[in-house]
């Protein structure tokens, strides 16, 4: 019975997803100021349709994001399509050749504070592991639009 109660608690709020979407052929397209602004603006409009963008990192060739969804009003696939579309619009305006994104995406439902903390540490340190900066805080292509379950995810 305790397990069922635990699961009820985990899913009583909107689920938080850890999402990764990759640029087509892992091209270096995404880590730029215009894409960052577009993703932030997209995240700010999200609650209108049941989506809250938490912390995210734009790597040159992929996006990592934490997003909470009201499943009644927003499907994860629709949200990912939307964020890909706003980035594609910016890249098209900058003259980058299409296609911009690989099909599909990877997602994982976060089930505990420990899981979220581990995922965020991975995301936050991704630019360091890639040799792009020496310290995570030096990478400027990241953001946080909404604080999602503040005990679990956030910078």
Distance CA 8, CA 56 (A): 27
Res. 23: pLDDT tops 90: yes
Give the model's pLDDT for residue 8. Answer: 37
Distance CA 122, CA 119 (A): 5
Q: How far are the Cα atoms of 17, 104, 109, 113, 126 from residue 119, in angstroms, in the given order?
A: 11, 20, 11, 10, 11
- 121: domain CATH number is 3.30.70.1290
Give the model's pLDDT for residue 73. Answer: 82
Tokens of 129: 């592991």
Give the model's pLDDT for residue 13. Answer: 62
Res. 155: pLDDT tops 60: no
Q: What tens digit of pLDDT does each residue of 80-130 get?
A: 999 999 999 999 999 999 999 999 999 998 876 667 778 888 899 999 999
Residue 1 lies in a domain: no
Tokens of 11: 């899913």
Give the model's pLDDT for residue 112. Answer: 67
| Alpha-carbon dihedral sign for residues 49, 54, 58, 61 | negative
pLDDT band at 68 (very low <50, low <70, confident <90, very high): very high
Give the model's pLDDT for residue 119. Answer: 85
| Burial profile 20-53: b = 16 or more Cβ within 10 angstroms, e = fewer | ebbbeeebebbbbeebbebbeebbeebbeebbbb
Q: What tens digit of pLDDT does each residue of 134-152 get?
A: 999 999 999 999 988 644 4
Tokens of 102: 């690989």
Helix (H) and strand (E) counts in the chain: 4, 5
Res. 3: pLDDT tops 90: no
Range of 43's domain?
Answer: 12-144
Residue 3 lies in a domain: no
Residue 50 lies in a domain: yes
Distance CA 153, CA 113 (A): 8
DSSP label at 101?
B
Residue 126 lies in a domain: yes
Residue 95 lies in a domain: yes
Residue 121 burial (CB count, 10 A):
11
């Amino acid at each position: 019975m305790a397990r069922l109660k635990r699961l009820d608690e985990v899913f009583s709020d909107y689920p938080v997803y850890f999402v990764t979407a990759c640029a087509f052929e892992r091209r270096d397209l995404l880590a730029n100021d215009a894409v960052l602004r577009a993703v932030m603006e997209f995240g700010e409009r999200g609650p209108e349709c049941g989506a809250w963008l938490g912390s995210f990192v734009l790597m040159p060739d992929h996006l990592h994001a934490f997003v909470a969804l009201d499943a009644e009003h927003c499907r994860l696939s629709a949200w990912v399509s939307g964020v890909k579309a706003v980035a594609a619009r910016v890249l098209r305006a900058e003259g980058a050749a299409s296609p911009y994104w690989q099909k599909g995406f990877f997602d994982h439902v976060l089930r505990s504070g420990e899981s979220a903390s581990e995922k965020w540490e991975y995301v936050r340190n991704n630019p360091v592991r890639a040799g792009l900066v020496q310290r995570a805080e030096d990478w400027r292509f990241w953001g946080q639009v909404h604080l999602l379950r503040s005990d679990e995810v956030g910078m």
